[in-house]
Structure 1
Amino acid sequence: MLAGESAEGLRLADEVDVSRLPSRERQFTFTLELARCYVLRRDDAAVLVHLLDLEKLSPQDMVRSKLGTDMVLGLLDRVRPTYRRQVLGLAERLAVGRSAAHKPTWDTLPQRKSDCAPRWRAMMAEDGAPVMSTCLPRVGASVPIARRLVREALVDWDLPDLADAAELVVSELASNAVRHTRHWGLRLTILRLAGRGVRVAVTDKSRVLPVKVTSCAENVTGRGLALVDAVSQEWGTVRLSWGKRIWADGAAADVLADISPALEVRVFATPTAQIIYVLLVVALAAWLGVLIVGG
């Protein structure tokens, strides 16, 4: 398989729900081929995610798979310190060693450290808009990596003024996926919108939808979505048959300035404050009515 073919294979694979394949053998083969595509794309983080999926799906088949164990050995040679603990654990559980029978077959792949870093996969939306996507392990170390990747993409798109807000959004979404999902990986996507806007999205395999919690002095957790709501122009959740995607849109300041402002709506901290405000308005109206009638 060539690198160009792997890109097309990954694009088509995004439309496939692996859990709906008719047998465990087909699920295993499909996931193994996905991992091989990511090897050709030099995306070690995605390779690790799919190898962990394979181990969970069928540890016995993973041990017997020459291609799978070669991939584990390749990660041992090239993986960055960020994911080395997970790779060592996988190799230990599969009893993969450095014997002559298990030499890596990746001689044609570069061995530089820079090739091990998670990187974007460039794609294109149906309307021709540029899209960047990558797969990250569901570990806390993936959160700063997600922030860095988003900033790099926005700088490349000449939108550095959106970087701070986008980093904050992706940090909250990725952290939410790391804390509350049980699958081994998550997908980070950034889409350039018309004008000077972007959409950041995090996809995971948990069907539990997020809930925005009202921030207060007694509540020190659950503020992530409230923060996303505060710094994004719009956000939402897309239900998937196997999980969910949370997205948030942002736009440059000059674009927001051109948008006609909505009618101002008064916001109250508590329902009691709202009731007091209404009573004051009614009392003031009654007092003005008395003055008019008496005058």
Structure 2
Amino acid sequence: MTTSGTPVQAAPIGRPGYSRTFPCNPETAVIGRKLVREALSAWHLDDLTEPAELIISELVANASRHTPCHSIRLIVQRPDMARVRIGVVDRAPSRLPVLNPADATDESGRGLLLIDALSDCWGYTLLGSHPARGPWGKETWAELKPAAL
């Protein structure tokens, strides 16, 4: 169960998987780690739990630090049997994630480097479209592949 007391529904593959909206603040990372654990446990992919928890924590931290959003949507999906996708949707399409090298003395700025090291691939997807206003948001995501199927 997530902190709202609502049990998470398991979907074997496909969308929507596990998806919930929460406040855009660093504390949401705790809820995100629990959501990831529950989804991976339901799919019997417990070996992915540790990297997936770190990834969702970094995605939440980046959204709360770099966007003006009041809420974010946490998503854990299994697009097919060979992939798990972890994502955070925000309403700041102009604030795109950029992988920058971190200096040894930097006190922050390593989140995307960590996601890049832990995941099989990562990126972002612009969401929605309007001729004059453009996209309404983006999903920043990372994918993991189970070791054994």
TM range (shorter): 0.7 to 0.9
- Answering whether residue 4 of structure 2 is matched by residue 117 of structure 1, we say yes
3-state SS of paired residue (2:22): strand
> How many angstroms apart in 2 are the aligned matches of 1:226 and 1:187?
22
- Answering whether residue 26 of structure 2 is matched by residue 132 of structure 1, we say no
What letter matches 2:27 in structure 1? A
> How many angstroms apart in 2 are the aligned matches of 1:115 and 1:237?
25
Structure 1 unaligned runs (5+)? 1-113, 256-295
In the other structure, the counterpart of 1:246 is 140
Percent identity at matched positions? 38
| CA spacing shift, 1:116–1:209, aligned 2, 3 Å | closer
How many residue pairs match? The answer is 140
Structure 2 unaligned runs (5+)? 128-134
Shift of 1:253: 2.1
> How many angstroms apart in 1 are the aligned matches of 2:2 and 2:146?
32
> How many angstroms apart in 2 are the aligned matches of 1:115 and 1:234?
27
| CA spacing shift, 1:124–1:252, aligned 2, 3 Å | closer
Shift of 1:194: 2.4
- Tell me which structure has the larger Cα radius of gyration: 1
| CA spacing shift, 1:211–1:116, aligned 2, 3 Å | closer
3-state SS of paired residue (1:221): coil
Q: Give 1:31-42 correspondences, 5 Å limit.
A: none
| CA spacing shift, 1:151–1:123, aligned 2, 3 Å | closer
> How many angstroms apart in 2 are the aligned matches of 1:251 and 1:115?
24
For the Cα contact (< 8 Å) 1:166–1:200, is it kept in 2? yes
In the other structure, the counterpart of 2:67 is 181
CA RMSD of aligned residues (A): 2.4
In the other structure, the counterpart of 2:33 is 147
For the Cα contact (< 8 Å) 2:58–2:115, is it kept in 1? yes
What letter matches 1:166 in structure 2? A
